[in-house]
Amino acid sequence: MSKIVVHGGYSLSGEICVGGAKNSAVALIPASILCGEEVLLKNVPNISDIGALEDILTSLGCEVSRGDHSLKIDSSCMVNAVIPCDLSSKLRASYYFMGALLGKYRRVKMCFPGGCSIGERPINLHLKGFEKLGATVLEEDGNFTIYADKLIGDDIFLDVPSVGATINIMLAAVLAKGKTVIDNAAREPHIVDVANMLNQMGAKISGQGTSKIEIIGVDSLHGTEYSVVPDMIEAGTYVIIASLLGKGLKVSGLVPEHIESLTSKLEEAGVHLKVGKNFIQVDEVSDYHSIDIKTMGYPGFPTDLQQVLVPFLVSCSGTSHIEETMYENRFMNVPDTVKMGANIQVNDAQFATIYGKSELVGKKVEATDLRGGASMIICGLIAEGTTVITNVGHILRGYEDIVGKLKKVGAHIEIEE
């Protein structure tokens, strides 16, 4: 099992380039099978979640070829096979094959998806959406069979603006008969990305990026070439690192508006950010003071940056508060952060109070989940001494070459097999 070893306390300078968004790419890949022609995806991140989706595509008979940050998917010979459970359980986003296969073949059979254990993560809203379109959903011990004679557009209200449900319903509805309206839809940049690619393939989707998305069903879609939007969470992670250790550290290739909920908070804490058209730079680190955050759907503060922000809050003087509203189990990084010297109290799995400022000391810690793992890397970068992070497979699922990117700007970090 690999581990990451970090020797902390070094300033970072130079440039880190942000790649394509994981949570967009993992939806664009299943979306591409809706046409039965060739789709060329560009700016695809080199992360293990993409490899897991490639295996699913291959199991369905698609021809897949990987280039340098590109993925060519030819679904002209695909078959509607049952996706093996050991493949779908590798990642959360396998659930997008439910919408895509239902939309394309009117029938899909697969198991409950995998992913980080950050909470219960039900998929009831995805299933409710499929049922509204006319599908029957059968479930037995986590195995789903979803089928329909025909899919007919309808008005679908989401109880909560779920990213996964919004995308999955779009995937099922693009080839349905008539008009589907998704109300209280999620508004994340990756939702806009999926709608934009489907439109390039011939779909008729409007309202993406707002809470009401309208989809007029079409008879067929065609192949396309599409570039994945920059990863707002990877961007946010490096901007947090720059705020803590930057000495002329530029994070480039990002869309600053996508992480305004983060940058406005960092500025409130006292960080001086130089914001350009597609970069954010920190020239000098100073003393920061406490802030409060509450996780929300886009454009609010993303839950995926909550854990990553913890080392920053530990470094602020005063008392900071976190309210986590999305997941019941997203403070798994806190015990190891406390072990390194932080003073954090978690109440009711939803609230955390961080009493700063604490100096961290390197320890042996664990990546409990993807973003919790990134948080431990940041703790290691700011700590005195050596931090050893185990179970790093979680981190590699979602951050492309995080060790190489940090090393290039002066971090003392290694990955060891």
Contact 19, 235 (CB under 8 A): no
- Smallest separation (angstroms) from ligand EPU to the CB of 375: 11
- Smallest separation (angstroms) from ligand EPU to the CB of 18: 15
- Smallest separation (angstroms) from ligand EPU to the CB of 123: 5
| Amino acid residing at 303 | T
303 is an interface residue for ligand EPU by CB under 6 A: yes
Rounded Cα distance, 156 and 172, in Å = 12
Chain residue at closest Cβ approach to ligand EPU: 164
187 is an interface residue for ligand EPU by CB under 6 A: no
Query: Of 290 and 375, which CB lies nearer to ligand EPU in the complex structure?
Result: 375
- Provide the b/e sequence for 196-208 (b: ≥16 CB within 10 Å): bbbbebbbebebb
- Site size toward ligand EPU, by CB under 6 A: 26
Rounded Cα distance, 27 and 44, in Å = 12
- Smallest separation (angstroms) from ligand EPU to the CB of 143: 17
At CA 64, angle to CA 63 and CA 65, rounded to 5? 130
| Amino acid residing at 313 | L
Query: Of 83 and 249, which CB lies nearer to ligand EPU in the complex structure?
Result: 83
Query: Of 139 and 149, which CB lies nearer to ligand EPU in the complex structure?
Result: 139
Pick one of 41, 52, 163, 172: the residue that binds ligand EPU (CB under 6 A).
163
At CA 151, angle to CA 101 and CA 186, rounded to 5? 70
Query: Of 164 and 230, which CB lies nearer to ligand EPU in the complex structure?
Result: 164
121 is an interface residue for ligand EPU by CB under 6 A: yes
Binders in 86-115 for ligand EPU, by CB under 6 A: 92-93
Q: What 3-state DSSP class applies to 342?
A: coil
- Provide the b/e sequence for 9-21 (b: ≥16 CB within 10 Å): ebebbeebbbbbb
Site string for ligand EPU, 31-50 (x = CB under 6 A): --------------------
Q: Name residue 416's beta-bridge partners.
A: 3
77 is catalytic: no
Contact 187, 298 (CB under 8 A): yes
Binders in 396-415 for ligand EPU, by CB under 6 A: 398
Rounded Cα distance, 114 and 326, in Å = 17
132 is an interface residue for ligand EPU by CB under 6 A: no
Phi, psi of 373 (to 5 degrees): -65, -45
23: its two tokens: 């949570």
- Smallest separation (angstroms) from ligand EPU to the CB of 191: 10
Query: Of 363 and 397, which CB lies nearer to ligand EPU in the complex structure?
Result: 397
304 is an interface residue for ligand EPU by CB under 6 A: yes
- Smallest separation (angstroms) from ligand EPU to the CB of 306: 9
Rounded Cα distance, 140 and 109, in Å = 11
- Given the residues 35, 111, 116, 316, select the one marked as catalytic: 116
Pick one of 4, 23, 25, 313: the residue that binds ligand EPU (CB under 6 A).
23
67: its two tokens: 């280039």
Q: Name residue 7's beta-bridge partners.
A: 386, 412
Catalytic (active-site) positions:
116
The site for ligand EPU (CB under 6 A) is made up of 23, 26, 92-93, 116, 119, 121-126, 160, 162-165, 186, 302-304, 326-327, 370-371, 398
